[in-house]
Each structure stands twice: as C-alpha cells, then as structure tokens.
A and B are shown apart, each in its own frame.
Chain A
Amino acid sequence: MSAALLQQMVSVAAALLLLTSFALLAQRRMRALLHWFSAQGIILALATAMVADEANMPELYFSAAMTLLLKGIFLPWLTWRIVVRLGVHREVEQLVNISATALIGAALVLYAVHVTLPIIHFSHLVTRNAIAIAMASLFLVMLMMITRRQAVAQVVAFLSIENALFFTATAATYGMPLVVELGVAFDVLIAGLIFGLFFYHIRSSFESLDLHDMEHH
C-alpha cells in the first residue's frame, strides 16, 4: 500500500470514528447505542491494523486484535447481555436539546483542531492529521458523559473515551509500547466487568438505571 493511499485510509477511518462519536452523542435507544459503540471498536481495530502495516510494526497488529476482541465484540456483547437480563433493554432515554448538544459538539471539534494545529506541525508521522480528530472524539464523548443521565450511556461514554485515547496513541505515536497497551487493556477489561456488577447493584438499590434517582434519593 502506498503512503499516500494509507494516509487517506487513515483519514477516512478518523472521519468514521468522529461520525460514531456524534452518533453516540445523540442516540437514545440502548440497542443502537451499543451497536454504534461496537462499530467504533471495529473501525478503531481496522485503522490500527492499517497503521501497523504501513509503519511495519507487528506489535500494533496485536493491539488491533485486542481492540477488536475487547471493544468491538466482548464489551458491547457483555453490556447487552446484562441490560437484557435486567430487563431495561427497551428503555428509551429522555434527551433534551439534542440539536443544541450536537451544535456544542461541532464547536468542540473546531476547538480540538485549533488546539492540535501547533502539535501537528511538528509531527512527522503519516497519521498526524488524525490527531485533531482523535482529540475531537475525546471531547465529544466527554460531552456525552455530561449530558447523559443513564448508567449504560455513561459507561458507553466512559469506554469510548478509552477508544479515543487509543486512537490518539495510534495516530500521534504509532501506539504505546506493548507493555503499556497490555496494562491499559487489562484495566479496561476489569473496568468493564466492574461496570457490569454495578448495573446489578444500582438496579437492585434504585429500581432503575436512571442516575437521576441516584442523585436525588
């Protein structure tokens, strides 16, 4: 694959990633939310594999495989299983001002580009253009964290933050050293399991996964 083609492919992946972040931001239905989250993981894995090929770094293939299994398949599946078992999978979250939130999101994307311009200037990597998008995704899912009041949505936002960080690492530095990536993946896995446990606890103590009840009990 030529460098120019690769650069374009990584840019496409970055754009798709941004799209999934916006989709997560505005999605109210639990099932669709988890689908988008899973799609984000798969896109991330593909982008990582492409960079691995171009940069000739076999370690990155490993990260890509780990991302695919953990974030593309296992965590969305696990969350869906728990949500179904708790019987809240048909819950539709009340979201006010979706359009306002999306507009703020757009402003955050511009801001991310503004912040990263000086950094991108110094980078020599083919993936440098993706740094801005990675940071924008980070901001978007943090916005989602603020606007959502439902435990599953917050967890999806939490895990997407990890996705955005992972993409940043791939774009800005061709990934972190393997031992760090392994450590981070381990933490994400444990966090995912603990979140699952928490759904049960919250559900049994508050009778719903709406965090409004938790704040005003």
Chain B
Amino acid sequence: MNLFDLLLGTPILAGLVLAVTRDAWRATWINSGASMVSLVAATGLAVRVLDRGSILAHDGAFFIDAYNVFLVALTAFVAFTTTIFSGPYMRHELETGRVTPQRLRLYHAMYQFFIFAMFLGLTTNNLGILWVSLELATLATVLLVSLYRTQDAIAAAWKYFIICGVGIALALFGTVLIFSTSSEILGHENAALTWTILHEYSKDLSPRMMIVAFAFLMVGYGTKVGLVPMHTWLPDAHGEGPTPVSAVLSGLLLNVALYALVRCKILVDGATQSGYAGYMIMGFGLLSLLVAALALHQQQDIKRMFSFSSIEHMGLMTFAFGLATPLANFAGLLHMTVHSLVKSGIFFTVGHAAQSMGTQQISRIRGLIRSQPAVGWGLVIGTLAIAGFPPFAVFTSEFLLMTATLQSYPWIVLLLLLGLAIAFAALLRKIQPMVFDEPPDYAQRIHANMLPLYVHLGLALLLGFAIPGFLADWYDSAAALLATTRGG
C-alpha cells in the first residue's frame, strides 16, 4: 500500500470506525491514532516530493507538487495536535453535560471525514472534485458547529450552511464555465478539468470566458476563505462550535479554500496573460484586512474575536497571493504556515480559558494568570505571536510581505501597516484585563493540556529565528510555481 492511499484511506476508515465506537475514552485514542498515521503518511509524501519532485497518483487523478504537499503536511500536523487537545477537552464537555455520548460519537466521526475532505481537496487534480471536496468539508463541519444544540449554535450552523452553500454553488458555476471553454480544446473528458493539463494549455483557453468564470470562483471560494463582504458566517461558525472545531476551521479549512482559489487564479492568469485576477484578489484581501481589524475592537466574545483575527490574516495572505511576486508568494506561504500553527494554538488556550471561567464573554474572563498561570501566559504569548510581535515567524512573514509590496505598490504598504496596527491595538486592549486582573470567584482550575500549544508556538518561534534550509527551498519552489508574470 503506498503512502498516498494511506493518507486518504486512514481518515475515511477511522471515520467509519468512530461512527460505531461507543466508548468515549477509546474514541479519543482512535481519533489521535488515525491522525498520527495520516501525519506519518503526509510526512513521507513530503520527503518524497522534496527529493524527487511532483507526483502523479492513480493515472493523474491526484497530483502532489511542492505547493500542495506543504499544505498536506501542515494539515496533517495540526489535525493531529488538535486531536491531542480534543481528547481531554471533549471528555470535560461530556462530564459537564454539554455533549451527550451520542453526539460525541458524531463529533469524532465527522472530524475524521472533515480531515479526509481536506486531504482530498488538496491532492485532487480535478477542478470538479476540488469543488466536491470543499462542499463535503462544509457538510462535515455543519453538524460539528451545531454540536451543542443551543439556539446560538443552531442559528450559527444554519447561517454557515446557507451562506457557504450558496457561495460555493457560485464556485461550481465558475468551474462549469471553465469546463465549457476547456472542453472545446481538450474534448468532453476528465482531461478538460485536470489541473496539470489545463495548466499546460492555459494559453489556449478563452480569456473572456475565464474572466467571467473567475468572477464566480472568486466570490465562491472567497466565501469559504472568509473574505469581506462574504465573511458574515465565519465568526458565528467559529465562535459557536466546540473549540477543537474552531481550531481546525480557522487553522486549516480557510487555507484549503484559499488554496483552491489560488489554483484557479493560476489558470486564469495563463489564459488572460494579465494581472486581472491578481488585482481582484488583492482588492478582496486588502478590504478583508481593514474591515476585520476594525471589527476586532467591537467583539465581546473571545472566540469571535479570534475568528475576526483569522479573517484579518486570511486577508493578508490573499493579498500576498494576489501580488504574486516570488517574494510575496514566499511570504504568503510562510504566513499560511505560522497562522495555522499559532491560531490553532490560541484556540486551544481559549478553550481552556472558557472552560475555566465557564463563559466565552470577554468581560467575564478575568485574571487568568493568577487563577491558571499556564493558560494565562499561553494566551498572552499566543496573542503576541499572532499580533506580529518578533521573534515569532508571523513577524517575519509580515515583514517579507511589506518588502514585496514596497517593490511593486509602495503606497499599499501604508494601508497594510494601518490594518496591522489597528488589529494589534485591539488584541492587546482586549487581552490585557483577561489575563492581568484579579480572578473572579467563579474561576475554577481545570485540567489543561498545554503541550499542543507549546509545540505550535515553539515551531512558530523556530521559524521566526531561522527557516531551515530544506523548508526555504520548499517555499521557494512553491513560490516560483505560483509566481505570475505581469503585463504582456
């Protein structure tokens, strides 16, 4: 059995097994074990791609190159550490009666199906299947968002379902339009939706059709990325679901959606031979950054606040991929990596903080450092890291992005800095009383598992000090793959 089949097969199998596993303790271990197997498979694939270049699997139906293998590895890693966090966290939720054993079973099964959908989307070579897998990921997570069955959770899940469903339907429309021009050249076959083949023939695709198609793809996949103004579902969905789900939604699914958008953009660039798609992406990215930074100030719920921070960072990455110079792509990829690590780590900490205080209301979370120092300091350091404080790698990637922007559009740097400064101020202002005040009398000590957070922050720190040579080569080759030539 090869590594590739192992990567896709494990989560499916684990999901089916978990659907019938009644014992909560055993289920959490199966969940972690399966994610570990996926991680091993992903690492193996990454090493192979690094060694020998792109892989085509199953007659070209699946395709792994420098760009997606790094996302596969990242997804597998964060998915694994999240299961480590999720074990004790969800058992606590079971003990306090927020979930029933039956719903916990649903949670574990859907978690694995969700991971499968992301792997499928990242590795498929077919634009149609890419769409199918993103929709599948939405469907798997809708039931996770509504897991607590409170009024808020159900309203959030409904909003998520409807807005993302409609959004992603538009992306399917865009895909159909691409197929309508590509099938005239490549015939009415799978080949006409196969990314590697389309990439080769992208010059021959009708530019006019591709532009119309891209408008739909942009709005469609942009909805899933959480770009403003299609972002309204995101804070609700990420805020109301169980914390491990918030961590993987913010840390992973947004990346996969952005990945899909960038894959489509490369084809459109090839067809139009202009920066048209890039400008559109940059605009959405910049708008998301600014609006989310302002919205951060008004948040009253800690998970919603960090969801808005995710929108802000996705805006930044989207902008980087729109700029699409090799340096900007490098910055975007690095930012994707560290944002996933740091943001999921923050959600782990936030989960513990909320369990300890019994609420997600920012105004009722106070004095974490006194009541539970590990959680309090974890939150402080995580927030500093995500706000772009050196030496964490978020600073490095933001700095690189500024440099790249300065080379192409110097005046935009001002807007970027403004957005980052506003977000920075909001995060510090909100975090300070939560960690430094006197702890309230309802604060309880809970069993907190801080290891995943330390690992994530440690990696972000390591990347901030020095990017290892192999990783830099990896980003370089991926960045070159995504780079587009302007003008012409």
User: Are A214 and B154 CB-contacts (below 8 A) given A154-B162, A177-B128, A179-B128?
Assistant: yes
**Are the C-beta atoms of A165 and B209 separated by less than 8 Å?**
no
Q: Which of B81-133 contact A (CB under 8 A)?
A: 126, 128-129, 131-132
B165 nearest CB neighbor, chain A only: A158
Bound complex: CA of A172 vs CA of B142, how far in Å?
32
Main DSSP-derived SS at the B contact region = helix
Q: Which of B176-198 contact A (CB under 8 A)?
A: 176-177, 179-181, 183-184, 188-190, 192-193
**Neighbouring A residues of B193 by C-beta, 8 Å:** 176-177, 180
**Are the C-beta atoms of B176 and A168 separated by less than 8 Å?**
yes
Bound complex: CA of A176 vs CA of B180, how far in Å?
9
**Are the C-beta atoms of A177 and B165 separated by less than 8 Å?**
no
**Are the C-beta atoms of A205 and B151 separated by less than 8 Å?**
yes
Is A184 located at the chain interface by the 8 A CB criterion? yes
Which 5 residue pairs are nearest across A and B when measured between Cβ atoms?
Answer: A180-B128, A183-B132, A172-B180, A173-B180, A187-B135
**Neighbouring B residues of A173 by C-beta, 8 Å:** 176, 179-180, 183, 188
**Neighbouring A residues of B139 by C-beta, 8 Å:** 187, 190-191, 194
User: Are A194 and B155 CB-contacts (below 8 A) given A172-B176, A183-B128, A201-B149?
Assistant: no
B139 nearest CB neighbor, chain A only: A190
**Are the C-beta atoms of B154 and A202 separated by less than 8 Å?**
yes
Is A156 located at the chain interface by the 8 A CB criterion? no
Is B136 located at the chain interface by the 8 A CB criterion? yes
Q: Which of A185-217 contact B (CB under 8 A)?
A: 186-187, 190-191, 194-195, 197-198, 201-202, 205-206, 211, 214-215, 217
User: Are A161 and B166 CB-contacts (below 8 A) given A115-B212, A180-B129, A201-B146?
Assistant: yes
B155 nearest CB neighbor, chain A only: A214
**Neighbouring B residues of A194 by C-beta, 8 Å:** 139, 142-143, 161
**Are the C-beta atoms of A184 and B188 separated by less than 8 Å?**
no
Hey, which bits of chain B sit against chain A, CB under 8 A?
126, 128-129, 131-132, 135-136, 139, 142-143, 146, 149-151, 154-155, 157-158, 161-162, 165-166, 169, 172-173, 175-177, 179-181, 183-184, 188-190, 192-193, 206, 208-209, 212
Taking the closest CB of chain A, its distance from the CB of B213, in whole angstroms, is: 10
Using C-beta atoms within 8 Å of the partner chain, give the interface range for chain A: 35 or more
**Are the C-beta atoms of B158 and A198 separated by less than 8 Å?**
yes
Taking the closest CB of chain B, its distance from the CB of A154, in whole angstroms, is: 6
**Neighbouring A residues of B129 by C-beta, 8 Å:** 179-180, 183
Taking the closest CB of chain A, its distance from the CB of B451, in whole angstroms, is: 34
**Are the C-beta atoms of B143 and A158 separated by less than 8 Å?**
no
**Are the C-beta atoms of B132 and A180 separated by less than 8 Å?**
yes
Is A123 located at the chain interface by the 8 A CB criterion? yes
Bound complex: CA of A171 vs CA of B132, how far in Å?
20
Is A162 located at the chain interface by the 8 A CB criterion? yes
Q: Which of A74-127 contact B (CB under 8 A)?
A: 115, 118-119, 122-124
A59 nearest CB neighbor, chain B only: B188
29 pairs from A and B in contact (CB 8 Å cutoff): A115-B212, A119-B209, A122-B209, A124-B184, A138-B173, A145-B166, A161-B165, A168-B176, A172-B176, A174-B188, A176-B193, A177-B128, A180-B129, A180-B193, A183-B128, A183-B132, A184-B131, A184-B132, A186-B132, A191-B135, A191-B139, A191-B165, A194-B161, A198-B157, A198-B161, A205-B149, A205-B151, A214-B155, A214-B158
Main DSSP-derived SS at the A contact region = helix
Bound complex: CA of A174 vs CA of B179, how far in Å?
10
**Are the C-beta atoms of B143 and A122 separated by less than 8 Å?**
no
Q: Which residue, B149, B161, B180, has most C-beta atoms of chain A within 10 A? A: B180
Taking the closest CB of chain A, its distance from the CB of B240, in whole angstroms, is: 13
In-complex Cβ contact of B166 among A142, A151, A172, A202 (8 A): A142
**Are the C-beta atoms of A211 and B209 separated by less than 8 Å?**
no
**Neighbouring A residues of B212 by C-beta, 8 Å:** 115, 119
A206 nearest CB neighbor, chain B only: B151
**Are the C-beta atoms of B155 and A217 separated by less than 8 Å?**
yes
**Neighbouring A residues of B177 by C-beta, 8 Å:** 119, 172
Is A73 located at the chain interface by the 8 A CB criterion? no
Bound complex: CA of A177 vs CA of B172, how far in Å?
13
Is A57 located at the chain interface by the 8 A CB criterion? yes
Is A66 located at the chain interface by the 8 A CB criterion? no
Is A169 located at the chain interface by the 8 A CB criterion? yes
In-complex Cβ contact of B136 among A118, A187, A195 (8 A): A187
**Neighbouring B residues of A183 by C-beta, 8 Å:** 128-129, 131-132
Bound complex: CA of A179 vs CA of B128, how far in Å?
8
Taking the closest CB of chain A, its distance from the CB of B102, in whole angstroms, is: 13
**Are the C-beta atoms of B149 and A179 separated by less than 8 Å?**
no
**Neighbouring B residues of A177 by C-beta, 8 Å:** 126, 128, 188-190, 192-193
Bound complex: CA of A161 vs CA of B135, how far in Å?
14
Bound complex: CA of A123 vs CA of B208, how far in Å?
12
